[in-house]
Amino acid sequence: MFIAKVYISLKPSVNDPQGLTIRSGLHQLGFDSVLDVRAGKYMEIRVDEGEESAARDRVSQMCRQLLANPIIEDFRFDLETI
């Protein structure tokens, strides 16, 4: 069994209104040194596969087919044996 730690973020060329709102809030709280914020998604997914290569393939398929929008988002993941 494996756990995939999936990170999904907007591509650099895509505007991030949520990130701008967070940066503005941080500035209002006095964190003026914050130059940029990019918001994203983080998920942990347990995968019951016998082989690491099979687990990697399945998680990659999940990301491409449902979890990430390939037009505006990038994804990466770390896989750990549990």
Q: How many CB atoms lie within 10 A of CB 50?
A: 9
Answer whether 60's CB lies under 8 Å from 75's CB.
no
Give the model confidence (pLDDT) of 15-45 as tens digits: 999 999 999 999 999 999 999 999 999 999 9
Give 40-73 pLDDT, tens digit per residue: 999 999 999 999 999 999 999 999 999 999 999 9
How many CA atoms lie less than 13 Å away from 19 in the CB half-sphere? Answer: 15
| CATH fold of the domain at 2-81 | Mth169; Chain: A , (3.30.1280)
Dist. CA 77–CA 56, nearest whole Å: 9
Q: Residue 82 has what pLDDT?
A: 92
Residue spans per domain, the chain = 2-81
Looking at residue 24, what is its pLDDT? 98
pTM: 0.86
